[in-house]
């Protein structure tokens, strides 16, 4: 009965117009084979990948995740998968493309300190959904846990494809115990967020009216916002006579892209922490791109960010790419207000790092006696 339920679910998925890219790591890869074994898979599956090792996962995401097996990592994988679907089938309606991300920590040949668990995420142009399944240790072997992970992936995909999945859901629930509840989160996108993801617009003002110019821009991940961000914003407002707009890019260099659950969480935290400042969502991962959106502005940044801007390895064309990018930023009249930051364990200001003259002339330094804050968002996440 159970096998028939899953075969029927996969057949129903293949009968829809939805198409999917899957990324699965740490368990659940049997979902890929189940999708491919049922006739009609070529209509549904665009691509499937298994970035199993941590380096492979970091390469897939475009940056190291805080934790390999987590809800956030599964959501980031789903967003990368959706972007891949979009790139491969640009003519397809955005809402008919699905990205699936799954990561799991399952029984293995050594004792694991953490709980056994499965995280699955679904990404479309209009919503992000995540599922969480805790698995009691010692109750099953790895093969059985693998099958449960695969079934959760198929169930999530079925719901994303809008097919009836009650029989398959019941079949999964019958294999679980009372202390193994399936968790679920759902975040619909604001229409403007969807437009940003689909490239229909490049900028969204969230808690203020969108205006033609933003003279001071404070870009960041703000994950989470903290006292240092508040102090930097206050100093920038005092120095430049304008409160900075806080800019959050949904795409980033060396970091996974942001899904809709992540966007909603970060925007909420920003609006609670710095309620007086405009909050902007953009699709601008680089300062070259940011300078296109905000010509003539001053960017509020840390010395570590300036060090990355000055490093040719961050540019596809190396030194030539760096020179072109800095020249464009300068030609657009943009400048940088640079704060000291912890770099390789030491607090360093602009004057204490190597910066080429072409970039240094665009920078104004905030000295250490005016600003010093050693806390970082990364450390705060580790503490929590």
Claim to verify: residue 281 and residue 237 sit in the same structural domain: yes
pLDDT band (50, 70, 90) for residue 377: low
Looking at every residue in the chain, the average pLDDT score rounds to: 91
Q: Are strands 116-123 and 127-135 parallel, antiparallel or unpaired?
A: antiparallel
pLDDT band (50, 70, 90) for residue 276: confident
pLDDT band (50, 70, 90) for residue 378: low
Give 226-236 pLDDT, tens digit per residue.
888 899 999 99
Claim to verify: residue 257 and residue 327 sit in the same structural domain: yes
Claim to verify: residue 220 and residue 178 sit in the same structural domain: no
Q: Are strands 298-302 and 216-219 parallel, antiparallel or unpaired?
A: parallel
pLDDT reported for residue 293: 95
Give 110-169 pLDDT, tens digit per residue.
777 778 999 999 999 999 999 999 999 989 999 999 999 999 999 999 999 999 989 999
Name the domain boundary from 124, 154, 188: 188
1 has pLDDT over 50: no
- 356 in any annotated domain: yes
Name the domain boundary from 143, 158, 188: 188
Give 12-49 pLDDT, tens digit per residue.
999 999 999 999 998 889 999 999 999 999 999 999 99
Calpha distance 249→279 (Å, rounded): 11
pLDDT band (50, 70, 90) for residue 381: very low
Claim to verify: residue 72 and residue 209 sit in the same structural domain: no
Token pair of 189, please?
Answer: 């996108």
190 has pLDDT over 70: yes
Calpha distance 175→19 (Å, rounded): 29
- 276 in any annotated domain: yes
Calpha distance 36→14 (Å, rounded): 10
- Contacts of residue 4, Cβ cutoff 8 Å, sequence gap at least 6: none
Residue with tokens 């030194």: 319
Residue with tokens 């969807």: 194
Where residue 76 sits, what CATH number does that domain have? Answer: 3.90.950.20
Phi, psi dihedral angles at 166 (to 5 degrees): -60, -40
- 288 in any annotated domain: yes
Where residue 206 sits, what CATH number does that domain have? Answer: 3.40.50.620
Q: Are strands 19-25 and 203-205 parallel, antiparallel or unpaired?
A: unpaired
Per-residue pLDDT, averaged over 249-255, amounts to 83
- 194 in any annotated domain: no
Claim to verify: residue 50 and residue 136 sit in the same structural domain: yes
User: Before 224, cis peptide (omega within 30)?
Assistant: yes
Name the domain boundary from 160, 188, 216: 188
Calpha distance 73→282 (Å, rounded): 21
pLDDT reported for residue 55: 94
Claim to verify: residue 181 and residue 212 sit in the same structural domain: no
Claim to verify: residue 305 and residue 174 sit in the same structural domain: no
Higher pLDDT, 213 or 126: 126
CA distances from 352 to 9, 43, 303 (A): 61, 57, 9
Claim to verify: residue 225 and residue 275 sit in the same structural domain: yes
- 195 in any annotated domain: no
CA distances from 80 to 44, 114, 121, 132, 184 (A): 18, 26, 11, 19, 20
Claim to verify: residue 264 and residue 162 sit in the same structural domain: no
Give 45-91 pLDDT, tens digit per residue.
999 999 999 999 999 998 888 888 999 999 999 999 999 999 999 88
pLDDT reported for residue 375: 66
Return the bridge partners of 23, or none. 49, 101
pLDDT reported for residue 346: 87
The count of domains in the chain is 2
- 149 in any annotated domain: yes
Claim to verify: residue 162 and residue 220 sit in the same structural domain: no
Domain that holds residue 315: 202-383
Beta strands in 52-126 (DSSP E): 97-105, 116-123
Q: What percent of the chain has pLDDT over 70?
A: 97
Give 281-309 pLDDT, tens digit per residue.
999 999 999 999 999 999 999 999 999 99
Calpha distance 55→64 (Å, rounded): 8
- 193 in any annotated domain: no
Claim to verify: residue 206 and residue 184 sit in the same structural domain: no
Claim to verify: residue 271 and residue 373 sit in the same structural domain: yes
The secondary structure of residue 355, as a DSSP letter, is -
Calpha distance 313→298 (Å, rounded): 24
Q: Is 165 helix (H, G, I), strand (E, B) or coil?
A: coil
pLDDT reported for residue 256: 73
Residue 136 · residue 179 · CB < 8 Å:
yes
pLDDT reported for residue 383: 55
pLDDT reported for residue 116: 92
- 231 in any annotated domain: yes
């Amino acid at each position: 009965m159970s096998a028939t339920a899953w075969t029927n679910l996969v057949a129903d998925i293949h009968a829809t117009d939805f198409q999917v890219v899957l990324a699965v790591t740490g368990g659940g890869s049997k979902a890929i084979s189940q999708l491919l074994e049922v006739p009609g898979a070529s209509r549904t599956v665009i691509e499937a990948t298994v970035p199993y090792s941590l380096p492979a996962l970091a390469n897939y995401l475009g940056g190291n995740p805080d934790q390999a097996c987590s809800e956030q990592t599964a959501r980031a994988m789903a967003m990368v998968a959706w972007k891949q679907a979009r790139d491969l089938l640009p003519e397809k309606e955005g809402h008919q493309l699905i990205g699936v991300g799954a990561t799991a920590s399952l029984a293995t040949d050594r004792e694991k300190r953490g709980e056994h668990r499965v995280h699955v995420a679904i990404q479309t142009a209009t919503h992000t959904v995540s599922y969480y399944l805790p698995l009691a240790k010692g109750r099953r072997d790895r093969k059985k846990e693998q099958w449960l992970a695969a079934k959760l992936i198929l169930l999530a995909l079925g719901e994303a494809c809008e097919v009836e999945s009650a029989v398959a859901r019941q079949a999964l629930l019958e294999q679980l115990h009372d202390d193994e509840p399936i968790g679920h989160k759902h975040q619909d996108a604001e229409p403007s967020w969807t437009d940003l993801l689909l490239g229909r617009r490049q900028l969204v003002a969230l808690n203020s009216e969108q205006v033609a110019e933003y003279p001071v821009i404070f870009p960041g991940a703000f994950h989470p916002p903290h006292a240092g961000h508040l102090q930097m914003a206050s100093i920038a407002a005092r120095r430049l006579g304008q409160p900075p707009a806080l800019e959050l890019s949904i795409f980033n260099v060396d970091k996974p892209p942001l899904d809709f659950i992540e966007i909603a969480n970060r925007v909420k935290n920003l609006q609670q922490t710095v309620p007086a400042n405009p909050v902007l969502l953009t699709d601008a991962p680089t300062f070259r791109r940011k300078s296109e959106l905000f010509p003539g502005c001053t960017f509020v940044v840390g010395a570590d960010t300036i060090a990355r801007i000055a490093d040719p390895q961050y540019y596809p064309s190396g030194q030539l790419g760096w020179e072109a990018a800095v020249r464009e930023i300068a030609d657009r009249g943009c400048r940088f207000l640079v704060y000291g930051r912890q770099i390789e364990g030491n607090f360093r200001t602009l004057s204490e790092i190597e910066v080429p003259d072409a970039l240094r002339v665009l920078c104004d330094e905030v000295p250490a006696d005016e600003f010093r804050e050693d806390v970082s968002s990364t450390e705060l996440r580790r503490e929590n």
